[in-house]
Amino acid sequence: KLARIISDLSNQGKEVILVTSGAIGVGVDKLKLSERPKTIREKQAVAAVGQCELMHMYSKFFSEYGHIVAQILLTRDIMGDEKCRKNVVNTFETLLEKGIVPIVNENDSVSTVELKVGQKDTFSENDTLSAIVSKLIEADLLIILSDIDGFYDSDPRKNPDSRMLSVIDKITPEIEDCAEGAGTKRGTGGMVTKLSAAKIATGAGVDVVLTNGSHPEAILDILSGEQV
Per DSSP, the residues of 136-199 read HTT-SEEEEEESSSS-BSS-TTT-TT--B-S--SS--HHHHHHHTT---SSSS--HHHHHHHHH
In a domain, 151, yes or no: yes
Number of domains in the chain: 2
Residue 4, burial from CB neighbour count under 10 angstroms (0-12, 13-18, 19+) = middle
The per-residue pLDDT for range 95-152, each reduced to its tens digit, is 999 999 999 998 877 765 554 544 443 344 688 899 999 999 999 999 999 887 878 7
Domain residue limits at 164:
140-215
The pLDDT value recorded for residue 136 is 93
In a domain, 226, yes or no: no
Same domain, 91 and 145: no
Same domain, 173 and 120: no
The pLDDT value recorded for residue 225 is 79
Same domain, 4 and 113: yes
Same domain, 179 and 88: no
Plot region of 4 (φ>0 → left; ψ -120 to 50 → alpha; else → beta)? alpha
Same domain, 76 and 155: no
The span from the CA of 222 to the CA of 131, in Å, is 18
In a domain, 227, yes or no: no
Same domain, 3 and 115: yes
Instruction: Report the range of poorest mean pLDDT among 75-84, 135-144, 155-164, 179-188.
Output: 179-188
In a domain, 187, yes or no: yes
Q: In this structure, what CATH number is given to the domain that contains residue 4? A: 3.40.1160.10
Same domain, 103 and 159: no
